[in-house]
């Protein structure tokens, strides 16, 4: 059984952010294992955040905005963010950058394999794959739902889930001077829902239908909402745009 000081189970945004901090701290002298079922970078997710200063990974920023729109009951408001900026990173760009740095450091080991289970042997945490069991002083995990084994589960759990389309339009459509944080103008009966828009340019944007509810929807239901929004707000029919890629999250 291989022993490590730290194991990071899951190489998504949280796992790689932790690894990046370790890489630039005295913890880089420790023996660290990072596992995920796939370590191949792809732009399948869009990560956005607020900051008042120059952000981490500034050279990787895909777009940024200083204005945000919120709309409810037909009232559209666009506000200057003052000292805040809303930044957007593509997941593939960030993963490529961090994984390249980790691969060059002798104390970090990367392993592409499905993670089957986490357990304890006494006070020692263990991680199990199909072929091996690893132990460490500490295991940080973002691959399993923490509620599954928790005694105190939430009384009224809500899921946040969404589908997004990245579209290119045949004519100028979007105002890329601001992003739409929440648009509640459509009528949705599935839960608390809104549309979120990140305009890359006047002819390209990510349009997401986001919902808070107890259960997931059928994939077709999400996509119908996005299509309806493009029609109602921007007067776009399916022949007016191409779907470059799709996102799903929960």
Structural class in CATH, domain 2-43+90-141: alpha beta
Domain 159-249, CATH: 3.30.70
The reply to whether the predicted model has a pTM over 0.85 is yes
Q: Tell me the three-class secondary structure of 174-243, residue by residue.
A: CCCCCEEEEECCCCCCCCEEEEEEEEEECCEEEEEEEEEECCCCCHHHHHHHHHHHHHHHHCCCHHHEEE
Domain ranges of the chain: 2-43+90-141, 159-249
User: Per-residue pLDDT tens for 81-130?
Assistant: 999 999 999 999 999 999 999 999 999 999 999 999 999 999 999 999 99
pLDDT tens, 154-205?
Answer: 676 788 999 999 999 999 999 999 999 999 977 666 788 999 999 999 999 9
Between residues 146 and 2, the one the model is more confident about: 2
Contact present, 113 and 37 (Cβ < 8 Å): yes
Condensed to tens digits (0 to 9), the pLDDT of residues 221-246 reads: 999 999 999 999 999 999 999 999 99
Alpha carbon of residue 52 to chain centroid: 21
């Amino acid at each position: 059984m291989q022993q490590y000081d730290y194991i990071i189970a899951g190489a998504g945004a949280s796992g790689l952010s932790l690894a990046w901090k370790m890489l630039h701290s005295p913890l880089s002298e420790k023996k660290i294992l990072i596992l995920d079922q796939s370590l191949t970078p792809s732009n399948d997710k869009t990560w956005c955040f607020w900051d008042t200063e120059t952000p981490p990974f500034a050279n990787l920023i895909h777009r940024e905005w200083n204005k945000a729109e919120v709309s409810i009951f037909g009232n559209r408001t666009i506000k200057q963010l003052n000292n805040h900026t809303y930044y957007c990173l593509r997941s593939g760009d960030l993963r490529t950058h961090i994984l390249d740095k980790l691969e060059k450091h002798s104390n970090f080991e990367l392993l592409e394999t499905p993670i089957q289970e986490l357990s304890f042997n006494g006070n020692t945490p263990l991680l199990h794959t199909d072929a091996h069991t690893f132990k460490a002083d500490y295991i940080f995990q973002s691959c399993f739902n923490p509620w599954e084994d928790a005694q105190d589960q939430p009384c009224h759990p809500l899921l946040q889930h969404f589908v997004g389309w990245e579209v290119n339009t045949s004519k100028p459509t979007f105002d890329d001077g601001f992003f739409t944080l929440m648009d509640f103008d459509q009528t949705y009966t599935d839960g608390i829902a809104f549309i979120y828009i990140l305009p890359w340019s006047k002819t390209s944007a990510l349009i997401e239908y986001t919902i808070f509810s107890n259960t997931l929807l059928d994939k077709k239901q999400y996509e119908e909402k996005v299509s309806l929004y493009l029609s109602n707000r921007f007067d776009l029919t399916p022949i007016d745009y191409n779907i470059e890629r799709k996102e799903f999250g929960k």
